[in-house]
């Protein structure tokens, strides 16, 4: 899971609407998915800012270049087909603040439907949080290819990290299998000096955090 900077919101019409709603103290309209006026603007912004990756698992979902700034017109993006689902990070806010930008991420559909659902993470692994740093909170275990809490954390913090790892699907079993199959050839080539670490980095299209944490164990 990489840190995500969501400050470069491309959906400026949505932002104006949200800022006005906040300034006037109005309630959010009921969350109604794709029927909402700015739904595709929100999704396209996240595709671009997340570089086409699931915000939690870092599985590649699509080519983010299709949602690049040059494809926007006056802060609006056309309706389009995309992979993944729009997730409310804190599901408890869905009813009261269902259109809050700070609570949105685009994530792998299986992770959302089969794993996260309405689970409530405690926020320690929120990808856009100022305090979030994967190297502080996480370690990566090979050959299992799973994330675990950093051993240097105190017990209480480790438990919070472990809870959020479960909520956010970083160790959702199908994702583990996909991640292992994808990274193993790169790590083997690096270990036997068929590739340098930099050469492998250039080829990567997903699972960047897992790679960086795994590669230091094989060089």
Residue 123 lies in a domain: no
The three-state secondary structure class of 200 is helix
| Predicted local confidence at residue 33, as pLDDT | 85
Last residue of a domain, one of 89, 116, 143: 116
pLDDT at 118 over 90: no
Q: Are residues 24 and 99 in the same domain?
A: yes
pLDDT at 155 over 90: yes
Q: Are residues 153 and 88 in the same domain?
A: no
Q: Are residues 77 and 155 in the same domain?
A: no
| Predicted local confidence at residue 184, as pLDDT | 97
CA atoms of 196 and 207, how far apart (whole Å): 18
| Predicted local confidence at residue 120, as pLDDT | 87
Q: Are residues 109 and 19 in the same domain?
A: yes
CA dihedral 47, 49, 52, 54 (to 10 degrees): -90
Residue 3 lies in a domain: no
pLDDT at 117 over 90: no
Q: Are residues 20 and 95 in the same domain?
A: yes
| Predicted local confidence at residue 219, as pLDDT | 84
Q: Of all residues in the chain, what percent carry a pLDDT higher than 90? A: 95
What pTM did the predictor assign?
A: 0.95
Least confident of 24-38, 170-184, 202-216: 24-38
Q: Are residues 47 and 82 in the same domain?
A: yes
DSSP at 75: T
Q: Of all residues in the chain, what percent carry a pLDDT higher than 70? A: 100
Q: What rounded mean pLDDT belongs to the chain?
A: 96
| Predicted local confidence at residue 64, as pLDDT | 98
Residue 82 lies in a domain: yes
Q: Which residues contact 168 (CB under 8 A, 6 or more apart)?
A: 1, 56, 57, 111, 116, 121, 125
Q: Which residues contact 54 (CB under 8 A, 6 or more apart)?
A: 61, 84, 106, 107, 108, 111
Query: Domain range spanning residue 160?
Result: 134-215
How many domains does the chain divide into? 2
Last residue of a domain, one of 116, 142, 176: 116
């Amino acid at each position: 899971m990489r840190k995500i900077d969501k400050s470069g919101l491309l959906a400026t019409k949505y932002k104006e609407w949200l800022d006005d709603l906040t300034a006037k103290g109005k309630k959010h309209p009921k969350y109604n998915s794709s029927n909402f006026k700015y739904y595709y603007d929100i999704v396209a912004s996240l595709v671009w800012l997340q570089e086409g990756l699931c915000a939690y698992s870092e599985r590649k979902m699509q080519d983010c270049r299709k949602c690049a700034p040059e494809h926007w017109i006056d802060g609006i993006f056309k309706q389009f087909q995309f992979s993944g689902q729009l997730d409310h990070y804190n599901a408890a806010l869905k009813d009261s603040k269902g259109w809050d930008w700070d609570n949105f991420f685009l994530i792998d559909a299986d992770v959302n439907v089969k794993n996260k659902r309405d689970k409530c993470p405690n926020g320690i692994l929120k990808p856009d949080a100022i305090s979030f740093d994967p190297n502080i909170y996480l370690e990566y275990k090979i050959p299992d290819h799973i994330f675990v809490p950093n051993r240097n954390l105190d017990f209480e913090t480790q438990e919070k990290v472990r809870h959020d790892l479960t909520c956010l699907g970083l160790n959702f079993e199908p994702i583990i299998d996909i991640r292992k199959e994808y990274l193993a050839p790169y790590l083997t080539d690096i270990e036997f000096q068929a590739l340098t670490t930099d050469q492998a980095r250039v080829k990567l299209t997903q699972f960047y955090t897992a790679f960086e944490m795994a590669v230091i164990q094989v060089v």
